Amino acid sequence: MTDNIHPLTRAALPGLTQRYASEKRFRLIGLSAVVLSLSFLVFLIGGIAFRGMGAFVQTEMQIEVSAETVENHTGSSFALMRKISLENFEASARSERRLSVSMVGEGADEDLENALADLGSFSGTARVWVRASDDIDVAWKADLDPEMMTTLRPKQVEWLQALANEDRLRTSFNTGFFTNGDSREAERAGIGGAFVGSLLTLSVCLLLSFAVGILAAIYLEEFAVKNKFTAFLEVNINNLATVPSIIFGLLGLAVFLNVFGLPRSSSLVGGMVLALMTLPTIIIASRVSLQAVPPSIREAALGLGATRVQAVFHHVLPLALPGMLTGTILGMARALGETAPLLMIGMVAFIADVPGGFTDPATALPVQVYLWSDIPERAFAEKTSGAILVLLVFLLLMNLTAIIMRKKLEKKW
3-state secondary structure of 339: coil
Cα–Cα dist 17/60, whole Å: 67
Among 280, 323, 327, 355, contact with other proteins (rule: CB under 8 A): 280
For residue 148, state whether it binds other proteins (rule: CB under 8 A). Answer: no
3-state secondary structure of 341: helix
Among 2, 5, 10, 22, contact with other proteins (rule: CB under 8 A): 22
For residue 187, state whether it binds other proteins (rule: CB under 8 A). Answer: no
- Quick one: which segment of 114-122, 149-157, 296-304, 331-339 binds other proteins (CB under 8 A)? 331-339
Among 61, 130, 204, 216, contact with other proteins (rule: CB under 8 A): 216
**Shortest spacing between CB 41 and other proteins, in angstroms:** 6
Among 79, 119, 300, 309, contact with other proteins (rule: CB under 8 A): 309
Closer by beta carbon to other proteins, 81 or else 317: 317
CB 331 within 8 A of CB 401: no
- Quick one: which segment of 23-31, 139-147, 170-178, 352-360 binds other proteins (CB under 8 A)? 23-31
CB 154 within 8 A of CB 96: no
Closer by beta carbon to other proteins, 5 or else 119: 5
Q: Dmax of the chain from CA atoms?
A: 105
Cα–Cα dist 163/151, whole Å: 18
**Shortest spacing between CB 373 and other proteins, in angstroms:** 5
Cα–Cα dist 311/300, whole Å: 9
Residues 339-378 that bind other proteins (CB under 8 A): 339-340, 343-344, 348, 366, 369-370, 373
Cα–Cα dist 125/117, whole Å: 15
For residue 8, state whether it binds other proteins (rule: CB under 8 A). Answer: no
DSSP string, 368-403: HHHHHHT---HHHHHHHHHHHHHHHHHHHHHHHHHH
For residue 274, state whether it binds other proteins (rule: CB under 8 A). Answer: no
CB 60 within 8 A of CB 130: yes
For residue 48, state whether it binds other proteins (rule: CB under 8 A). Answer: yes
For residue 219, state whether it binds other proteins (rule: CB under 8 A). Answer: yes
Burial (CB count within 10 angstroms: exposed 0-12, middle 13-18, buried 19+), residue 18: exposed
DSSP symbol at 59: E
> How many residues of this chain interact with other proteins, rule: CB under 8 A?
83
Which H or E run contains 95?
helix 94-101
Cα–Cα dist 246/243, whole Å: 8
For residue 278, state whether it binds other proteins (rule: CB under 8 A). Answer: no
Closer by beta carbon to other proteins, 111 or else 221: 221
- Quick one: which segment of 37-45, 142-150, 151-159, 291-299 binds other proteins (CB under 8 A)? 37-45
For residue 191, state whether it binds other proteins (rule: CB under 8 A). Answer: no
For residue 409, state whether it binds other proteins (rule: CB under 8 A). Answer: no
**Shortest spacing between CB 234 and other proteins, in angstroms:** 9
Burial (CB count within 10 angstroms: exposed 0-12, middle 13-18, buried 19+), residue 58: buried
Cα–Cα dist 168/61, whole Å: 6
3-state secondary structure of 171: strand
**Shortest spacing between CB 344 and other proteins, in angstroms:** 6
3-state secondary structure of 172: strand
**Shortest spacing between CB 268 and other proteins, in angstroms:** 17
- Each residue 227-266 as x (binds other proteins by CB under 8 A) or -, in order, gives ------x--xxxxx-xxxxxxx-xx-xxx--x--------
Closer by beta carbon to other proteins, 211 or else 300: 211
**Shortest spacing between CB 149 and other proteins, in angstroms:** 20
Among 37, 74, 92, 227, contact with other proteins (rule: CB under 8 A): 37
Instruction: Note the residue count of the chain.
Output: 413
Residues 151-170 that bind other proteins (CB under 8 A): none
CB 100 within 8 A of CB 91: yes
Cα–Cα dist 291/224, whole Å: 14
Residues 379-408 that bind other proteins (CB under 8 A): 381, 384-385, 388, 391-392, 395, 399, 403
